[in-house]
Structures are given as structure tokens and as C-alpha cells.
A and B are shown apart, each in its own frame.
Chain A
Amino acid sequence: MISPWTTQILPPAVVLVSTLAAIVIFVAGEARQRLRIWVNLTAALLKLLLVVWIGLEVLAGTTFMFRFELLPGLELILHADALSILFASLSAVLWLVTTVYAIAYLEHSPNRARFFGFFSLCVSATMGIAMAGNLLTLFLFYELLTLTTWPLVVHNGTPEALAAGRSYLRYTLTGGVVLLTALVWLYGLAGNAVFTPGGFLAPLAAAHGDALTLIFVMLVAGFGVKAGLIPLHGWLPKAMVAPAPVSALLHAVAVVKAGAFGIIRTVEDVYGLELVAELGMRLPLITVASWTIVIGSLLALREHHLKRRLAYSTVSQVSYIVLGIAVGGLLATSGGMVHLVHQGLMKITLFFCAGIFGLLLGVKRIDQLDGLGRRMPWVSGAFTVAALGMIGLPPLVGFISKWYLASGALAAGMPLVLAVLITSALLNAAYFLPLVRRLWLNPPGTLVEAPIEIGRLPRLALMSSAVATAALVVVLGVLAAHPLSPLNWVVKIAQGYAP
């Protein structure tokens, strides 16, 4: 058992590890390359160990709670329940892998101190979101995430990067403003809103029915901007102009999942699914999620730029999570939540491979992928595994989440949702299989070697990180039944919400 003092200190410690790393990196300045690499790696490892330690303790039943009174009647709360551990562990693992990838990827590029500083800051913001114990803390770290990811999006300093940065700010800051209004209103009605499984707004529903509905719409819209729900996804494809590690970790894991995580917290821990249904918001949420899935896939189909196609696929995949939560019931909820992890693994592998193709072979568009299977077997192999996972082929992780989602939809008696899942599976196949075919079956096109030559070790680091995440995609799929696997962890969470 651990002392009560440590249960207080661990959650903020997890958040602050990467902030300290960021400060050291900023102060160290551009020149000290070795120090920066060591600080990055040790911080990532330390964070992973802390998250695992907290995870085991949570499994054993200890509760973690850190409270800091920001304003009279307003508290910053960091706690570690099963759901926050799920998101925190995903971020910690992928941050470690992406750090290795980024160190190799940015071997010769300028401003690396600034990059890695903000990179660590944004991971601590993601940790803050995962560990948030009430809506205000979630909002605080949500806004910090905007502040720390903007420099990464505009990192290259090119006019398109700055335009992408501007559009990113327009969307996310407006989302933040909508969230702030909803938050003030909610605090006016319900006071200090601590997350409680099943929601705490039920008693207020009678008196402030329509107010709660409007607040719910604003909250979902605010989080929906980062989660990339269709009308609010405009910034995501443009932000692909950022360097590969940014689009890998941020737009596949941190930023996009933060939005989805916010929606999960709102539906599960603030309102509770029954109240959402009672307010008549369940069906609209399902429709929004469904049309985002379908339209996202269609847009991805139309896209010829490799990274933009992956971006649109992210837009549609994240809505699986929202769909699972909205459909409700044990199966669908766990299917949605586990997709949080699975989609992260698959998408980060795809972005890693796209980054390597772009860096080493200057491949930007789909038609340049011809015959890369022979030139880079390992990277193309990882790309194929991840692509097949996205389509939902057994025994990969993608299949598991889609299987749970489909059975959940059936259990909840929603054949339409099932239809959406099937069409999206077909659409995924439609925009991923041609890539795989080009990689392996097409004769290699005329490809000039990219100008940057990469040393042996960085090339190995790039390859190994892509392959590692691809391996995870396979391993977690095969060992889904293992008690410590994300699936069982999620089922335990889902049992808490929908017995």
C-alpha cells in the first residue's frame, strides 16, 4: 500500500515531469544536443513508469486525488480513475516512441530546442487532460494544449505552416471560448463540478432542462473542434503541414484524442448517458458521429496527398469513439473506449511510415508510393499491418473495436448504426487497399533519392519505432483476452458506467 501523501503527489508529478523536462530543454538552448536527448528520454521513461505504477495501484483499488483551490468555490482536481489511466498510458507509451522517432527525424533541422520544449509541454497538457478530476481542470489543460501545440504546427515557419497555424488558432480558440461560456453557466447551476461516474446533473434536469441541453451542445461543440467532428474539422487536414512527429503524436494521439476524451467525460462523468438520452441529445450525437465517419472516409477517398488522406481518416476514426459512447451499453461503450487506444496505435504507425517515406524518399503523394515494398520492406510492412488493422481485419486491434461496436449496436437495437459501421469498413478498405497494392504490386516508379542523407543509427531508430508500434497493433490484437490488455481494462471501466 502506498502512503496517502504519495496518492496526493503522484498525479501532479506525472503531469509535471515533462514540464520540468521542457524547462530544462528551453534553458539548455539549441547547442546542447546530447543533454536534450538524455533529458527527453529519461523524462519519457520516468513518466511511463509513474503511469504504470499508478495503474497498478488503481487496479489494487487505491484512489488518487490532488486538490488545489484556485479560486473561492473553484478547484483544480487531478485524480487517477481507470479511464484517465487508459488515456495517460496511451500518451506515455506513444510519447516515448515518438521522442525516439523525432530525435532521428529532426537530425538536421533548426530550432530543435524550441520543438522539443513545446513537445514536452504539450504532452504534460495531455497528461493534465487525462488526469483532470473536474471540468475546470479539463478546460484549463485543454486551453494549455492549444497554446503549446500552436508553436509545433507553425514550426517550419513557411507561409503554409503559418496559414495552418492561423486556421488552427481560429478553430481551437473559438472552441475554447464556447467551452468557457458553457463552463461558467454550468458552474453557475451546479457549483464545483467533480466527475462522478453516471453523472451528477440528474437532480438539476427537472428545473433547468433546456439550459442543460444547451450546455451539453456547447460542451460537445467545444470538445468536438479538437475531436474533428465534421463541421469543425477544417483545421486538421491543413495542420498536416507540420513535421511528421508532430502530425504523428499530436494529430493522431494527443490533440484529437483530447477532444474525444472530453466528450467521453462529458457524456459519462458529467451528464450520464440516461440524462443525455432523456434530454433527447443521444440521437443527434449518434447522427453527428455517423455522418463524420462516413463523410470523413469519403473525403479521405478523394485526397491524393498521403498525409492529408491519413488526416481525413483520423477525422472519421475518432468518431468511432464518440459513436460507441453515444450508443451506450456495455459492448458499444467498451468498443468505443478501446478504439481510443487501438486507433492511436494504428494511426501513429501510418504517420511514422508516411514521415519516413517523406523524409528519405521525398514521397508526398499517393502515386509516388509505387514499388516501395522492395526498397523499404520493413517500413512498408508496418504500413500494411496498420492499414489492414484500420480496415478491421482479424486478428488485429482494429477488428476488436469494430467487433465490439457492431455487437453493441445490435445489442442496443440500432441496425442503422450497424449499417454505418459496415459502410465505413468498406470505405476504409476503399482508401487503404490501393495504397497497399501500390506498395507491393506496382513496379517501382522513378524516384530520386531524397537530398537529406541520414546516418545509420537515426535510420535504424526511425525504422524500429514504426515497426514497434506495428508490432503493438498485432500483439494487442492477438492477446486481447489477456487480463492486463487494454480491452479488459476498458471492459472494467465500461462496467462502472453501464452495468
Chain B
Amino acid sequence: MTPAAQLLIGLVFVPLSTALVAVLLPPRRRRWAVVLGGLAWPCLLVPLSMAVAREQSVVMVFGGWAPPLGIGWRLDALGLVVLWVHALAGIAALPSAWRRFDPDLPESGPFWSLWMILATGVNLALLAADLFNLYVALELTTLAAVALIATDDGIAALAAAMRYLLLAVLGSLMYVLGVGLVYAQTGSLAMHQPGIEALNNVALVLMLTGLMVKAAIFPLHVWLPHAYSNAPGPVAAIMAAVVGKAALVAFWRIWFETAEAPPAQLADFLGLIGAAALVYGAIAAYLQPRLKMVIAYSSISHFGFLLLLLPLASQQAFQGAGFHLLAHGLAKAAMFLAAANIVVVLGSDSIRHLPGLDKRMPLEAFTLALAGVTLIGLPPSGGFTGKWMLLSAAWETGGWFWLVLIVLSGLMSAAYVFRILALTCFHPARRAVHHLHPRPPKITSLAALTLALLAVVIGLYPHPVLDLLGAGMPGMVR
């Protein structure tokens, strides 16, 4: 078993064993164990990145039973990029979680174990090269995420968690029906199906719809805004950064890899859905009265943007979309962590309390500004690199409609980002907010700031990530 494959095992079993140790420990002493585990598994990413850079993808099969019999794992560049986002966002969210869930809170015991179970689920969803294993991984991630949302005991959070759970079960139901049909047609559950000329369309559509519910893509996004905005700060950050993206990566993999030759009209139709998500998300984000809702709807808009990869299926478009995944994940996690601190100090994240924020909480205001720059895709930031690659891909494949859409997406994101920035920095603080709660420790704001800075800096030096992504689209890599 190659050393790289052993690292893959570590990637899932380190967080899993930390979770088991956490459940074993008495509730008051779980925090330290989880922090150690949370800092340990990202270290495996360094050797794995080198392995993926060398051989394009690291493959592993359980028990030596080659598919279609056994379950296989495969780590390719796309999965690695989202794993890096998960590692960085996870570490950045730790200080905020450390402050929010200290041991004498009743729900802090379960929280810390669930935090590691969520990490296991996400890592597994990014590695699974087997359709049913992917379902089980996404189910684990969803259940852990719903429980984490419910740690905030408010009515809105509990209702949002319940709505997310019900819709996720519906999504999984459709997905498994699709997997069943795939098995009936090809007799194998592996994600890479050799020898079939085309996956039967009904199975493909069912699987993709199920994943669209989990990734909260436009028509099926209903659960996301309330879930993200009512969840505790660190939970919202990790969910926005990674949980939705794991489902989207699965969506891309099934599209490019399992479905040999997906029909072109379906690609354009999904592109249109992406366009609708883009516009709807931006408009909704512009109208929201609460900061966290603005950030949540911006996620819906950017997921629509990422869906444009399907009609523009070229190598360059894949690099652009993969890079945007990285930049957007980091920026979104930074914004939610900053928003969490704002809610702690101001008591509520409603837009009316924002004026004067740049003097009261300069670091948070600067994080929101920097992350906003990445969302709009202004030149130096990571968002620009992703947008530029997608634009030139659109130009090469002659997709004028997509080109105009991508260009307008930056404008639409600018609308709601500048609205927030104008409110935080330039509106005069009309009346002092009734009273300010004690400030969270400095490290939480610095963690959010480093994430936002990272999102901008990778724009200046994108080569390592682009070469990694350049190795090949999930479909083309045989």
C-alpha cells in the first residue's frame, strides 16, 4: 500500500479517532482533544499535495477488492483544493469555537465531538470515489451539520436545523434512487464507470437534483439562508466554507466522470439555473436586513457562478472554477467569523447597528472589506484570477452569454458588498448602540483577518494551485 494511500487513510481516520476519543472523554475535557485533532489532520495535506502534484491523483481501494466489488478512494486536485480550504477555515474557526463553547456550557460536550465528526464527513465526501460511499459520507456530514446548527438554542436556529434536515433527507432520497438506477444499468457503484457509452439520463438527473439540494443551488436553496445566519459563528463559517462545496465537488465529479457524455442541452440548462442563482442570490443579498443573511445569499449567488463550469467545460474553465472555489471558501469563512464577532459585541447583526463599526471593531470592518474585494473579483484578489480564467474559457468556447453573465456577476456582487462597506465605514453612527458586550479575544478577529488576507494573496501568486488544477479535469483523468 503506497505511503500516499496511507496518508489518505489518515486524512479520514485522524479526525474520526479524535471524535471517538472526544465521545469517550467526559464532556468537560473534550475541547483540548478536539483542538489537537483539528490541528493534526491538516498536516497530512502537505505530503499529499506533493503526491498529487507528482501523480495527478492518489488512488486507494479498501481491502484490495477492486471496484466494482470494493470501495475505492481517489484524491485529485479538486478534492485537494477544498481540503485545503477545510483545513484553513477549520483552524481559523477554532479560536472562535474555543471562546463560544467553553466546557461549562451544557451543549459544549456534544459540540466538540460533532465538530470532529463533521470534519470526518467532509474529508470523506471529498475522497469517496464510490457513489454509495459518497451518499453515506454526505449523510454523516449533514447530520453533524444539523446538530451543530441546533447547538444555538434559539427558535430560529432549531427551525432552520429541522428544515435543513428534512430537505437533506429528501435530497439523499433522490440521490440514492439515482444510484439504484445506475447500479441496475451498469452493475457497479464506482464513480468512474468504464465501458458505458452514456449514463441513463434519468439516473443522472435524479443524482444531480439530490446533490443540488445538499449544495443549496438556486431553486432548492430554501434552507440555506436561515441555517447559516442562525447557526453559531464558527459553525456557519465552516459550513459556508466547505459543507456546501463538498456536495458541489461531488456534483462536478458525477457530471464529468460518471456520466460519460452528458447531454449538451442539460449542460446549458444547468448553466441557466446557475445564471438564475447568480442573479437571484445577488438581488436577495442586496435586500437583506441582516448581515449574516447578506453573506448567506451571497453564497447562493456564488454557487450559481460555480455552476457555469458545466456549459464551459474546458480545461481552463475547470482551473478557473477550482480556483474560485478556493478563494470564495476562504473569503466566506472570513466573513462569517467576522460577522460572529460583530454579533457578539453589538448583540445583533441587523444592518441598523453597523454604522460606526469601523471605529468600534476596525479588524472586523477590514476583514469584511477584504473578503468583499475577493467576492467582487477586483484585480489583485483570488476572485479575479478565477473570474479571468472562466472569462477566457467562455471566450474560447464562444459562450457569449456566459461571458456577459460572468462579467455582470462581479458587478452584482459589488452592489451588496459596497452597500455593507458604506454602512460599516461611512454612515455616521447616528445613535450609540445601547450597550456593547465585552469584546471577544483579539485572536478571533486576527484569524478571520488572516483568512481574508489569504484569499487576496493567493490572487497574487496563484501558480501552485493552478498547476495542481491544471493536471486534469476529473473526467479527463483516466
A–B touching in complex (CB under 8 Å):
yes
Binding site for B on A (CB under 8 A): 69-72, 74, 114, 139-140, 143-144, 147, 150-151, 154-155, 157-158, 161-162, 165-166, 169, 173-174, 177, 180-181, 184-185, 187-188
Residue from the list A140, A151, A180, A187 in contact with B410, Cβ < 8 A: A180
Residue from the list A140, A162, A180 in contact with B426, Cβ < 8 A: A162
Closest 6 CB pairs of A and B: A140-B379, A184-B391, A188-B395, A154-B426, A157-B428, A157-B426
Alpha-carbon distance A177/B405, docked complex (angstroms):
11
Convert B33-54 into 0s and 1s, putting 1 for each residue whose CB lies closer than 8 angstroms to a CB of A. Answer: 0000000000000000000000
Instruction: Tell me if B477 is interfacial: C-beta within 8 Å of chain A.
Output: no
Count A/B pairs, Cβ under 8 Å: 68
Contact status A162-B379, CB under 8 Å: no
Residue from the list A74, A155, A161 in contact with B388, Cβ < 8 A: A74
Chain B residues near A140: list those with CB within 8 A: 379-380
Contact status A169-B414, CB under 8 Å: yes
Q: Give the secondary structure class of A's interface.
A: helix
Name the interface residues of B372-391: CB closer than 8 Å to any CB of A. Answer: 373, 378-380, 385, 388-389, 391
Contact status A177-B411, CB under 8 Å: yes
Alpha-carbon distance A307/B462, docked complex (angstroms):
45
Chain A residues near B392: list those with CB within 8 A: 184, 187-188
Chain B residues near A177: list those with CB within 8 A: 407-408, 410-411
Alpha-carbon distance A165/B358, docked complex (angstroms):
18
Residues A181 and B407 in contact in the complex (CB < 8 Å), given A71-B389, A144-B380, A187-B392: yes
Q: A140-B379, A144-B380, A184-B395 given. 9 additional CB < 8 A pairs? A: A143-B379, A157-B427, A158-B428, A165-B422, A165-B426, A169-B414, A177-B411, A181-B404, A184-B403
A-B pairs with beta carbons under 8 Å apart, 29 shown: A69-B463, A70-B385, A70-B462, A71-B385, A71-B388, A71-B389, A71-B466, A72-B463, A114-B358, A139-B379, A144-B380, A147-B373, A147-B378, A150-B418, A154-B422, A161-B426, A162-B422, A169-B418, A173-B414, A177-B408, A177-B410, A177-B411, A180-B391, A180-B407, A181-B391, A181-B403, A184-B388, A184-B391, A184-B403
Instruction: Tell me if B196 is interfacial: C-beta within 8 Å of chain A.
Output: no
Return the chain A residue nearest B408 by Cβ. Answer: A177
Return the chain A residue nearest B419 by Cβ. Answer: A166
Contact status A144-B422, CB under 8 Å: no
Q: How far is the CB of A122 from chain B (nearest CB, A)?
A: 14
Return the chain B residue nearest A155 by Cβ. Answer: B426
Alpha-carbon distance A147/B408, docked complex (angstroms):
17
Alpha-carbon distance A154/B421, docked complex (angstroms):
11
Instruction: Tell me if B69 is interfacial: C-beta within 8 Å of chain A.
Output: no
Instruction: Tell me if B153 is interfacial: C-beta within 8 Å of chain A.
Output: no
Return the chain B residue nearest A156 by Cβ. Answer: B426
Alpha-carbon distance A155/B358, docked complex (angstroms):
13
Alpha-carbon distance A158/B392, docked complex (angstroms):
41
Return the chain A residue nearest B316 by Cβ. Answer: A72
Binding site for A on B (CB under 8 A): 358, 373, 378-380, 385, 388-389, 391-392, 394-396, 403-404, 407-408, 410-411, 414, 418, 422, 425-428, 460, 462-463, 466
Alpha-carbon distance A165/B391, docked complex (angstroms):
28
Alpha-carbon distance A177/B379, docked complex (angstroms):
12
Contact status A144-B388, CB under 8 Å: no
Alpha-carbon distance A369/B425, docked complex (angstroms):
35
Alpha-carbon distance A177/B404, docked complex (angstroms):
9
Alpha-carbon distance A188/B389, docked complex (angstroms):
11
Contact status A151-B426, CB under 8 Å: yes
Residue from the list B395, B410, B422, B460 in contact with A70, Cβ < 8 A: B460
Q: How far is the CB of B27 from chain A (nearest CB, A)?
A: 42
Q: Give the secondary structure class of B's interface.
A: helix
Q: How far is the CB of A142 from chain B (nearest CB, A)?
A: 9
Chain A residues near B388: list those with CB within 8 A: 71, 74, 184
Return the chain B residue nearest A187 by Cβ. Answer: B392
Chain A residues near B462: list those with CB within 8 A: 70-71
Contact status A188-B418, CB under 8 Å: no
Chain A residues near B385: list those with CB within 8 A: 70-71
Chain B residues near A161: list those with CB within 8 A: 426
Alpha-carbon distance A158/B426, docked complex (angstroms):
9
Q: How far is the CB of B162 from chain A (nearest CB, A)?
A: 40
Contact status A185-B426, CB under 8 Å: no
Residue from the list B422, B460, B466 in contact with A72, Cβ < 8 A: B466
Q: How far is the CB of B130 from chain A (nearest CB, A)?
A: 34
Return the chain B residue nearest A174 by Cβ. Answer: B411
Which of B379, B391, B411, B460 is the most central at the interface, judged by chain A CB atoms within 10 Å of its CB? B379
Chain A residues near B379: list those with CB within 8 A: 139-140, 143-144
Alpha-carbon distance A188/B314, docked complex (angstroms):
15
Q: How far is the CB of B12 from chain A (nearest CB, A)?
A: 33
Return the chain A residue nearest B387 by Cβ. Answer: A180
Which of B358, B403, B408, B418 is the most central at the interface, judged by chain A CB atoms within 10 Å of its CB? B418
Chain B residues near A187: list those with CB within 8 A: 392
Chain B residues near A155: list those with CB within 8 A: 426
Q: How far is the CB of A268 from chain B (nearest CB, A)?
A: 23
Alpha-carbon distance A144/B378, docked complex (angstroms):
8
Alpha-carbon distance A177/B412, docked complex (angstroms):
11
Chain B residues near A165: list those with CB within 8 A: 422, 426
Chain B residues near A169: list those with CB within 8 A: 414, 418
Return the chain A residue nearest B470 by Cβ. Answer: A72
Q: How far is the CB of B407 from chain A (nearest CB, A)?
A: 5
Chain A residues near B373: list those with CB within 8 A: 147
Chain B residues near A71: list those with CB within 8 A: 385, 388-389, 462, 466
Chain B residues near A139: list those with CB within 8 A: 379
Alpha-carbon distance A69/B422, docked complex (angstroms):
34
Contact status A151-B425, CB under 8 Å: yes
Alpha-carbon distance A87/B387, docked complex (angstroms):
31
Which of A71, A154, A162, A174 is the most central at the interface, judged by chain B CB atoms within 10 Å of its CB? A71
Return the chain A residue nearest B396 by Cβ. Answer: A188
Q: How far is the CB of B14 from chain A (nearest CB, A)?
A: 35
Q: How far is the CB of B361 from chain A (nearest CB, A)?
A: 14
Chain A residues near B407: list those with CB within 8 A: 177, 180-181
Q: How far is the CB of A17 from chain B (nearest CB, A)?
A: 18
Alpha-carbon distance A155/B428, docked complex (angstroms):
10
Chain B residues near A180: list those with CB within 8 A: 391, 407, 410
Chain B residues near A174: list those with CB within 8 A: 411
Alpha-carbon distance A181/B388, docked complex (angstroms):
10
Alpha-carbon distance A477/B295, docked complex (angstroms):
56
Return the chain B residue nearest A69 by Cβ. Answer: B463
Q: How far is the CB of B327 from chain A (nearest CB, A)?
A: 13
Alpha-carbon distance A52/B404, docked complex (angstroms):
43
Chain A residues near B394: list those with CB within 8 A: 184
Chain B residues near A184: list those with CB within 8 A: 388, 391-392, 394-395, 403
Q: How far is the CB of A401 from chain B (nearest CB, A)?
A: 33
Chain A residues near B466: list those with CB within 8 A: 71-72
Contact status B378-A143, CB under 8 Å: yes
Return the chain B residue nearest A144 by Cβ. Answer: B379
Q: How far is the CB of A221 from chain B (nearest CB, A)?
A: 14
Alpha-carbon distance A185/B399, docked complex (angstroms):
12
Return the chain B residue nearest A188 by Cβ. Answer: B395
Chain A residues near B463: list those with CB within 8 A: 69, 72
Q: How far is the CB of A430 from chain B (nearest CB, A)?
A: 38
Return the chain B residue nearest A147 by Cβ. Answer: B378
Chain A residues near B428: list those with CB within 8 A: 157-158
Q: How far is the CB of A175 from chain B (nearest CB, A)?
A: 11
Q: How far is the CB of B466 from chain A (nearest CB, A)?
A: 7
Alpha-carbon distance A162/B426, docked complex (angstroms):
8
